[in-house]
Amino acid sequence: MLHNLTIAVVESDRDRAREIIEGLTEGGWTNVKVIGDTVGLARKLGEIDPDLVLIDLANPDRDLLENLSAASGATQRPVAMFVDRSDDEMTRSALAAGLSAYVVDGLRKERIKPVLETAIARFQMVSQMRTELEAAKRALAERKTIDRAKGVLMRAKSLNEDEAYGLLRKTAMDQGRKVIDVAEALVTASDLLL
Amino acid sequence: MTPRQLDCGYVPLVDSAPLIIARALNFDKEEGIRLNLLRQPSWSALRDLLALGHLDCAQMLSPLPIAMSLGLGGIPCRIDALMVLSVNGNTIGVSNALADAMRGNGWDSGFQTPFETGRHLLAAAEAPLRVGVPFPFSMHAELLHIWLERSGLTTPPQIITIPPPRMAEAVANDQIDAFCVGEPWGSQAVEAGVSELILPGRAIWQFAPEKVLAVRHRWIEEEPMTVAALMRTIFHACRWLDKQDNRTLASEILMRSEYLDLSDSVIDRALMGRILPRPGSIGEDVPGFLHFARSGATFPWRSQAAWIAHRLAPRHGLNRETAIAAAKACFRADLYRANLASLGVDMPGASEKLEGSMIHRTAVASVKGDMILGPDAFFDGSIFDPTVVG
């Protein structure tokens, strides 16, 4: 039974967790459990008794799993997937996708591989969505700051909006800085002065 | 010529300073390299990325290259320590409730009295004591083990891994009773109002190698010139950091958002060696709380590696003798001598010493005449001879 595996996903962000579960379910793995809160991780893993644990490489809680794998005499010993470096291509793409995996109790490689391929694809998608969301948020925040800086200049120097933006750009270019940095400095300075 | 770019991993801590300063003050460019500092979320992520070649070099907990070379935990890979990045710098803290219970037992709240504090801690705590450390293979864990063992703890403590930024939260949630962590996270737990610091790591061992500069063994063979440039860079940064006058500027650089992203007041405490054990308390001066270069701090003593292996081996069912031999090979005193002699750095006559034998600052034979080392005593006065196994 290729798909008869219990998989634990350690992920506190619900949306991300749902995405990953969906991906695995579509791939045929239906026995997927999420650990959202890592308080009492050892006990939770004991209850779920997974064959495989998936966790984001960027998750600081990874060191907790490491603790479990280093504990001697533990019955459940999760072992970092990268220990087996026979498949470098897979290791590379897992790292690139930001996925780390722990295998419990010597699961055979041919059973892990398809799960990881699915998980890697899903992790890639989720991290891309996250990157795009962050970029959009940052762009919005930057636009607000630049608007405020334009407002400061328009008031202080009686400029119209285009002239104000032109002045910001010219200053940034002259100083070899980014427009947003000049705008931030200006907004901070005007907050201090007014 | 464009400098050779090196991807360098670190975990945000006060003792990441040598790497951060090397980059911020351009010590790297002067040696023809450029450090791309890559902040890592966990020690396991940092370890994997170094082992798999995604990082060229990294700041590491001193026991970690030894554990990896011994095949313990995660990826077995030959990782060497080129030099020591920092000595000491940890604090031990307990929950407010436990501190009160200790005072109820007659503890006088002394900050640098390991015997007294240990005795009161053991009397006040319920067994098993739950202690948080940042990583299973860390000086934090080793210091706790010897301190508790030699203070008379009979039930082994439950050592729990907690990422440093979560230490305060773990105390608040009653996941742990105590912790040992690198600064600024101990001070941060005090600021959060959830715990009290009861001991600096230095009170257990006065000269504990804390972080090392780690690289793949094979990379040293592939790029010996880059390795030499990297070592010179970090040595300059460590020497700069050891001057007290420079520490205010260091603190300002470290607090920046791209590095530690914390207020300079908590960072200052470790750099100035003035620790506030309780909120609003008068600071405690801890001489040698954290050093980077003084007393031969950067030298990777093979005896330090041997001590770590001596402690790790029995807990992981390894043969002590072979573990010690492997560990000694990890600490590259040979490269330190070969690559830093041109800077006029004085070198100790030997690469091993009797760990714990120097109660005071002591002049020892060196290549140039003599150099001042120590103190490096253990709190119980024990001495570790790296040549005697048992």
* B201-228 tens-digit pLDDT: 999 999 999 999 999 999 999 999 999 9
Where do we find the tokens 């007659």? Answer: B106
Q: What is the pLDDT of residue A106?
A: 58
* d(CA A30, nearest CA chain B) in Å: 28
Q: Is the CB of A62 less than 8 angstroms away from the CB of B45?
A: yes
* B250-268 tens-digit pLDDT: 999 999 878 888 877 889 9
Q: What is the pLDDT of residue B56?
A: 97
Q: What is the pTM of this model?
A: 0.86
**What is the rounded radius of gyration, in angstroms, for the C-alpha atoms of chain B?**
20
* B23-53 tens-digit pLDDT: 999 999 999 999 999 999 899 989 989 998 8
Mean pLDDT of chain B: 94
Long-range contacts of B321-328 (CB under 8 A, 24+ apart): B321/B389, B323/B70, B324/B386, B324/B389, B326/B66, B326/B69, B326/B70, B327/B66, B327/B69, B327/B70, B328/B302, B328/B352, B328/B386
Question: Of B37-51, B56-70, B270-284, which one has max mean pLDDT?
Answer: B56-70
> Which residues of B lie closer than 8 Å to A, measured between beta carbons?
41-45, 48-49, 51-52, 54, 72-76, 134-137, 159-163, 165-166, 173, 175, 315-317
Does A64 contact chain B (CB < 8 Å)? Answer: yes
**Residues A161, A159: Cα–Cα separation, whole Å:** 7
Q: What residue in B sits closest to A58 (Cα-Cα)?
A: B41
* B302-345 tens-digit pLDDT: 999 999 999 999 988 999 999 999 999 999 999 999 999 999 99
* A129-165 tens-digit pLDDT: 878 888 888 888 999 999 999 999 999 999 999 999 9
Local confidence band at A108 (pLDDT 50, 70, 90 cut-offs) = low
Q: Is the CB of A60 less than 8 angstroms away from the CB of B42?
A: yes
Q: What is the pLDDT of residue A64?
A: 84
Local confidence band at A96 (pLDDT 50, 70, 90 cut-offs) = confident
Higher pLDDT: B295 or A61? It is: B295
* B160-189 tens-digit pLDDT: 999 898 899 999 999 999 999 999 999 999
Local confidence band at A93 (pLDDT 50, 70, 90 cut-offs) = confident
Where do we find the tokens 């799993």? Answer: A65
Residue B68 and residue B77 in contact, taking contact as beta carbons nearer than 8 Å = yes
Which one of B43, B44, B64, B142 would you mutate to disrupt binding with A, by most A Cβ within 10 Å of its Cβ? Answer: B44
Q: Which tokens sit at B159?
A: 């050592």
**Residues A101, A78: Cα–Cα separation, whole Å:** 9
Q: Which tokens sit at B1?
A: 């010529």
Q: Does A117 score more than 90 pLDDT?
A: no
Task: Answer positive or negative: Cα dihedral of A13, A105, B52, B62.
Answer: positive
* A35-70 tens-digit pLDDT: 998 888 888 888 888 888 888 888 888 888 887 776
Which one of A45, A63, A85 would you mutate to disrupt binding with B, by most B Cβ within 10 Å of its Cβ? Answer: A63
Q: Compute CA distances A137 → A97, A131, A141, A170, whole Å.
A: 22, 10, 6, 26
